[in-house]
Structure 1
Protein backbone atom coordinates (compact mmCIF):
# COMPACT_ATOMS: atom_id res chain seq x y z
CA UNK A 1 0.00 0.00 0.00
CA UNK A 2 1.01 3.57 -0.65
CA UNK A 3 -0.52 6.80 0.50
CA UNK A 4 -0.16 10.39 -0.65
CA UNK A 5 -1.79 13.77 -0.89
CA UNK A 6 -2.69 16.22 -3.58
CA UNK A 7 -1.85 19.85 -2.77
CA UNK A 8 -2.61 23.04 -4.65
CA UNK A 9 -1.43 26.62 -4.62
CA UNK A 10 -3.63 29.72 -4.78
CA UNK A 11 -3.81 29.43 -8.59
CA UNK A 12 -5.18 25.84 -8.52
CA UNK A 13 -1.88 24.42 -9.70
CA UNK A 14 -1.11 20.91 -8.43
CA UNK A 15 2.07 20.06 -6.50
CA UNK A 16 4.19 17.33 -8.09
CA UNK A 17 7.51 15.97 -6.87
CA UNK A 18 10.37 14.44 -8.85
CA UNK A 19 11.54 11.22 -7.15
CA UNK A 20 15.23 10.49 -7.58
CA UNK A 21 14.47 6.77 -8.04
CA UNK A 22 11.67 6.93 -10.67
CA UNK A 23 11.33 8.07 -14.27
CA UNK A 24 8.13 10.05 -13.75
CA UNK A 25 7.03 12.73 -11.30
CA UNK A 26 4.39 11.94 -8.69
CA UNK A 27 2.25 13.25 -5.86
CA UNK A 28 4.01 13.48 -2.49
CA UNK A 29 3.63 10.26 -0.54
CA UNK A 30 5.00 6.77 -0.15
CA UNK A 31 4.63 3.37 1.38
CA UNK A 32 2.37 2.53 4.30
CA UNK A 33 4.42 0.88 7.06
CA UNK A 34 3.24 -2.24 8.92
CA UNK A 35 0.66 -1.30 11.54
CA UNK A 36 0.22 2.20 10.07
CA UNK A 37 -3.01 3.57 8.65
CA UNK A 38 -3.02 5.11 5.16
CA UNK A 39 -3.86 8.56 6.65
CA UNK A 40 -0.99 8.33 9.19
CA UNK A 41 1.35 7.24 6.39
CA UNK A 42 0.27 10.22 4.30
CA UNK A 43 0.98 12.66 7.15
CA UNK A 44 4.37 11.00 7.82
CA UNK A 45 5.37 10.93 4.16
CA UNK A 46 4.46 14.60 3.64
CA UNK A 47 6.54 15.49 6.71
CA UNK A 48 9.49 13.37 5.53
CA UNK A 49 9.42 14.38 1.88
CA UNK A 50 8.39 18.05 2.11
CA UNK A 51 9.21 19.00 5.69
CA UNK A 52 5.60 20.08 6.27
CA UNK A 53 3.27 19.29 9.17
CA UNK A 54 -0.15 19.87 7.65
CA UNK A 55 -3.72 18.74 8.18
CA UNK A 56 -4.76 16.13 5.68
CA UNK A 57 -8.31 16.31 4.40
CA UNK A 58 -10.69 13.65 3.16
CA UNK A 59 -9.85 10.57 1.14
CA UNK A 60 -10.34 11.31 -2.55
CA UNK A 61 -9.35 8.13 -4.39
CA UNK A 62 -8.42 4.54 -3.70
CA UNK A 63 -6.69 3.02 -6.72
CA UNK A 64 -5.67 -0.56 -7.36
CA UNK A 65 -2.69 -0.90 -9.67
CA UNK A 66 -1.13 -3.86 -11.43
CA UNK A 67 2.23 -3.23 -9.71
CA UNK A 68 3.81 -6.34 -8.22
CA UNK A 69 2.51 -9.90 -8.29
CA UNK A 70 -0.65 -9.12 -6.29
CA UNK A 71 -1.25 -5.51 -7.24
CA UNK A 72 -0.98 -2.49 -5.00
CA UNK A 73 -3.39 -0.04 -3.37
CA UNK A 74 -2.86 3.72 -3.50
CA UNK A 75 -4.75 6.08 -1.19
CA UNK A 76 -4.87 9.75 -2.23
CA UNK A 77 -6.01 12.35 0.31
CA UNK A 78 -6.90 16.00 -0.16
CA UNK A 79 -4.08 18.17 1.17
CA UNK A 80 -5.93 21.34 0.21
CA UNK A 81 -4.41 24.66 -0.75
CA UNK A 82 -0.99 25.41 0.70
CA UNK A 83 -0.75 29.09 1.69
CA UNK A 84 2.38 31.05 0.67
CA UNK A 85 4.12 30.55 4.03
CA UNK A 86 3.76 26.75 3.78
CA UNK A 87 4.90 26.71 0.15
CA UNK A 88 7.97 28.72 1.17
CA UNK A 89 8.66 26.24 4.00
CA UNK A 90 8.94 23.19 1.70
CA UNK A 91 12.25 21.42 2.25
CA UNK A 92 12.78 18.35 0.09
CA UNK A 93 14.36 15.14 1.32
CA UNK A 94 17.37 15.06 -1.05
CA UNK A 95 17.64 11.28 -0.73
CA UNK A 96 14.18 10.89 -2.27
CA UNK A 97 13.27 14.02 -4.24
CA UNK A 98 15.19 16.07 -6.80
CA UNK A 99 12.69 18.93 -7.12
CA UNK A 100 9.06 19.98 -6.94
CA UNK A 101 6.77 22.21 -8.95
CA UNK A 102 3.24 23.59 -8.86
CA UNK A 103 1.80 22.98 -12.32
CA UNK A 104 -1.53 23.55 -14.03
CA UNK A 105 -3.14 20.11 -14.38
CA UNK A 106 -2.83 20.16 -18.17
CA UNK A 107 0.97 20.67 -17.84
CA UNK A 108 1.24 18.13 -15.02
CA UNK A 109 0.07 15.50 -17.49
CA UNK A 110 3.39 15.53 -19.30
CA UNK A 111 5.37 14.72 -16.15
CA UNK A 112 3.21 11.72 -15.20
CA UNK A 113 2.98 8.21 -16.63
CA UNK A 114 -0.29 7.31 -18.36
CA UNK A 115 -1.67 5.42 -15.31
CA UNK A 116 -0.58 8.27 -13.02
CA UNK A 117 -2.38 10.74 -15.29
CA UNK A 118 -5.51 8.54 -15.19
CA UNK A 119 -5.25 8.61 -11.39
CA UNK A 120 -4.83 12.41 -11.41
CA UNK A 121 -7.98 12.81 -13.52
CA UNK A 122 -9.91 10.81 -10.91
CA UNK A 123 -8.32 12.77 -8.03
CA UNK A 124 -9.27 16.11 -9.60
CA UNK A 125 -12.82 14.92 -10.29
CA UNK A 126 -13.24 13.56 -6.74
CA UNK A 127 -12.02 16.84 -5.29
CA UNK A 128 -14.38 18.82 -7.52
CA UNK A 129 -17.51 16.82 -6.74
CA UNK A 130 -16.72 15.67 -3.20
CA UNK A 131 -17.26 11.97 -3.99
CA UNK A 132 -14.58 9.42 -3.11
CA UNK A 133 -13.70 7.15 -6.02
CA UNK A 134 -12.30 3.65 -6.49
CA UNK A 135 -10.41 2.95 -9.73
CA UNK A 136 -8.33 0.15 -11.22
CA UNK A 137 -5.23 1.15 -13.17
CA UNK A 138 -2.30 -0.46 -14.97
CA UNK A 139 1.24 -0.26 -13.62
CA UNK A 140 2.23 3.12 -12.26
Structure 2
Protein backbone atom coordinates (compact mmCIF):
# COMPACT_ATOMS: atom_id res chain seq x y z
CA UNK A 1 0.00 0.00 0.00
CA UNK A 2 1.43 3.36 -1.03
CA UNK A 3 1.75 6.10 1.56
CA UNK A 4 1.53 9.75 0.67
CA UNK A 5 2.94 12.56 2.73
CA UNK A 6 0.54 15.42 3.29
CA UNK A 7 2.03 18.79 4.02
CA UNK A 8 0.32 21.22 6.32
CA UNK A 9 -0.68 24.44 4.60
CA UNK A 10 1.87 27.24 4.82
CA UNK A 11 -0.80 29.46 6.34
CA UNK A 12 -3.62 28.85 8.75
CA UNK A 13 -6.77 28.92 6.60
CA UNK A 14 -9.73 30.63 8.22
CA UNK A 15 -13.40 30.50 7.46
CA UNK A 16 -15.29 33.74 7.15
CA UNK A 17 -18.42 34.01 9.24
CA UNK A 18 -21.52 33.96 7.06
CA UNK A 19 -24.98 35.37 7.67
CA UNK A 20 -28.09 35.46 5.51
CA UNK A 21 -31.24 37.56 5.60
CA UNK A 22 -34.46 38.05 3.67
CA UNK A 23 -35.66 41.21 1.95
CA UNK A 24 -39.43 41.46 2.41
CA UNK A 25 -41.24 44.42 0.84
CA UNK A 26 -44.83 45.60 0.95
CA UNK A 27 -47.01 46.98 -1.85
CA UNK A 28 -45.78 50.53 -1.10
CA UNK A 29 -42.14 49.48 -1.63
CA UNK A 30 -41.28 49.65 2.06
CA UNK A 31 -38.78 47.18 3.52
CA UNK A 32 -39.46 44.96 6.52
CA UNK A 33 -37.09 45.62 9.42
CA UNK A 34 -37.15 43.75 12.71
CA UNK A 35 -36.14 45.11 16.11
CA UNK A 36 -33.78 42.60 17.73
CA UNK A 37 -33.79 42.40 21.52
CA UNK A 38 -29.99 42.02 21.55
CA UNK A 39 -28.90 44.91 19.23
CA UNK A 40 -29.22 48.66 19.38
CA UNK A 41 -30.33 48.92 15.73
CA UNK A 42 -32.97 47.33 13.50
CA UNK A 43 -32.09 44.61 10.98
CA UNK A 44 -33.66 42.45 8.30
CA UNK A 45 -34.89 38.99 9.36
CA UNK A 46 -31.98 36.55 9.25
CA UNK A 47 -28.89 35.35 11.06
CA UNK A 48 -25.73 33.31 11.01
CA UNK A 49 -25.17 30.27 8.81
CA UNK A 50 -24.55 27.11 10.82
CA UNK A 51 -21.78 24.61 9.89
CA UNK A 52 -22.85 22.47 6.93
CA UNK A 53 -25.80 24.75 6.12
CA UNK A 54 -26.19 26.72 2.90
CA UNK A 55 -26.84 30.47 3.13
CA UNK A 56 -30.29 30.00 1.52
CA UNK A 57 -31.23 27.30 4.03
CA UNK A 58 -29.94 29.49 6.88
CA UNK A 59 -32.10 32.36 5.66
CA UNK A 60 -35.23 30.17 5.63
CA UNK A 61 -34.41 28.74 9.07
CA UNK A 62 -33.75 32.15 10.60
CA UNK A 63 -37.02 33.59 9.22
CA UNK A 64 -38.87 30.60 10.69
CA UNK A 65 -37.11 30.97 14.07
CA UNK A 66 -37.48 34.75 14.28
CA UNK A 67 -40.94 35.31 12.75
CA UNK A 68 -42.63 31.93 13.11
CA UNK A 69 -43.53 31.75 9.40
CA UNK A 70 -42.18 29.78 6.44
CA UNK A 71 -42.45 31.93 3.32
CA UNK A 72 -40.71 30.87 0.13
CA UNK A 73 -37.21 32.33 0.07
CA UNK A 74 -36.30 33.39 -3.44
CA UNK A 75 -33.16 34.17 -5.37
CA UNK A 76 -29.93 35.69 -4.14
CA UNK A 77 -29.99 39.49 -4.37
CA UNK A 78 -26.70 40.48 -2.74
CA UNK A 79 -23.49 38.84 -1.57
CA UNK A 80 -21.45 41.33 0.47
CA UNK A 81 -17.86 40.84 1.61
CA UNK A 82 -18.05 42.90 4.81
CA UNK A 83 -15.27 42.25 7.32
CA UNK A 84 -15.18 44.28 10.53
CA UNK A 85 -12.46 44.87 13.09
CA UNK A 86 -14.70 43.49 15.82
CA UNK A 87 -15.96 40.34 14.04
CA UNK A 88 -13.27 39.65 11.43
CA UNK A 89 -14.05 38.30 7.96
CA UNK A 90 -17.75 38.15 7.08
CA UNK A 91 -19.75 37.22 4.00
CA UNK A 92 -23.33 38.47 4.13
CA UNK A 93 -26.16 37.37 1.84
CA UNK A 94 -29.59 38.86 1.19
CA UNK A 95 -32.24 36.72 -0.50
CA UNK A 96 -35.53 37.80 -1.99
CA UNK A 97 -38.38 37.30 0.45
CA UNK A 98 -41.00 38.99 -1.71
CA UNK A 99 -44.34 40.15 -0.38
CA UNK A 100 -45.97 38.35 2.50
CA UNK A 101 -49.64 37.44 2.24
CA UNK A 102 -52.17 38.79 4.76
CA UNK A 103 -52.30 35.27 6.26
CA UNK A 104 -48.51 35.23 6.70
CA UNK A 105 -48.60 38.65 8.37
CA UNK A 106 -51.32 37.42 10.74
CA UNK A 107 -49.19 34.37 11.59
CA UNK A 108 -46.05 36.35 12.54
CA UNK A 109 -44.93 35.57 16.08
CA UNK A 110 -41.56 35.96 17.78
CA UNK A 111 -41.09 32.41 19.10
CA UNK A 112 -37.38 32.59 19.98
CA UNK A 113 -37.57 35.96 21.74
CA UNK A 114 -34.82 37.49 19.57
CA UNK A 115 -37.23 39.96 17.94
CA UNK A 116 -39.57 42.36 19.72
CA UNK A 117 -41.45 43.73 16.69
CA UNK A 118 -41.30 44.47 12.97
CA UNK A 119 -42.23 47.41 10.78
CA UNK A 120 -42.17 48.23 7.10
CA UNK A 121 -39.87 51.21 6.55
CA UNK A 122 -39.68 53.52 3.53
CA UNK A 123 -36.26 53.25 1.84
CA UNK A 124 -35.54 56.94 2.52
CA UNK A 125 -36.09 56.35 6.26
CA UNK A 126 -33.86 53.28 6.72
CA UNK A 127 -31.00 55.36 8.17
CA UNK A 128 -33.24 56.35 11.10
CA UNK A 129 -33.50 52.68 12.11
CA UNK A 130 -30.27 50.95 11.24
CA UNK A 131 -26.54 51.33 10.60
CA UNK A 132 -25.10 52.85 7.43
CA UNK A 133 -23.56 49.67 6.04
CA UNK A 134 -26.89 47.84 6.34
CA UNK A 135 -28.69 50.74 4.65
CA UNK A 136 -26.23 50.40 1.75
CA UNK A 137 -26.71 46.62 1.58
CA UNK A 138 -30.53 46.85 1.71
CA UNK A 139 -30.55 49.61 -0.92
CA UNK A 140 -28.37 47.50 -3.23
CA UNK A 141 -30.60 44.46 -2.61
CA UNK A 142 -33.73 46.45 -3.48
CA UNK A 143 -32.08 47.73 -6.68
CA UNK A 144 -31.06 44.16 -7.57
CA UNK A 145 -34.61 42.92 -6.90
CA UNK A 146 -36.16 45.53 -9.18
CA UNK A 147 -33.58 44.93 -11.95
CA UNK A 148 -33.69 41.12 -11.75
CA UNK A 149 -29.99 40.96 -10.83
CA UNK A 150 -27.72 39.52 -8.18
CA UNK A 151 -24.95 41.85 -6.99
CA UNK A 152 -21.54 41.33 -5.43
CA UNK A 153 -20.63 44.04 -2.92
CA UNK A 154 -17.64 44.88 -0.78
CA UNK A 155 -18.58 46.69 2.42
CA UNK A 156 -21.96 47.58 0.94
CA UNK A 157 -20.56 49.08 -2.27
CA UNK A 158 -20.74 47.71 -5.80
CA UNK A 159 -17.41 49.28 -6.75
CA UNK A 160 -14.34 47.61 -5.28
CA UNK A 161 -12.21 49.70 -2.97
CA UNK A 162 -8.59 49.90 -4.14
CA UNK A 163 -6.10 48.83 -1.47
TM superposition score category, shorter chain reference:
over 0.9
Choose the corresponding residue for 1:20, options 37, 44, 54. Answer: 37
Per-residue CA deviation, residues 38-85 of structure 1 (Å, 9 max, x unaligned), is 011011000000001111110000011123464101110000011211
1:107 counterpart residue number: 125
Choose the corresponding residue for 1:4, options 4, 14, 21. Answer: 21
2:138 counterpart residue number: 120
SS at match of 2:72: coil
State the shift of 1:96 in Å.
0.6
CA contact (8 A) 1:31 1:41 kept: yes
CA contact (8 A) 1:10 1:82 kept: no
SS at match of 1:4: strand
* TM-score, normalised relative to structure 2: 0.80
Choose the corresponding residue for 2:102, options 81, 84, 89. Answer: 84
Unaligned residue ranges in structure 1 (runs of 5+): none
CA contact (8 A) 1:3 1:38 kept: yes
Richer in strand (by share): 1
State the shift of 1:8 in Å.
1.3
Larger radius of gyration: 2
1:63 aligns with 2:80: yes
CA-atom RMSD in angstroms: 1.4
* TM-score, normalised relative to structure 1: 0.92
Richer in helix (by share): 1
- The higher-RCO structure (CA 8 Å, 6+ apart) is 1
CA contact (8 A) 2:60 2:73 kept: yes
Runs of 4+ with >6 A deviation: none
State the shift of 1:28 in Å.
0.1
Unaligned residue ranges in structure 2 (runs of 5+): 1-17, 157-163
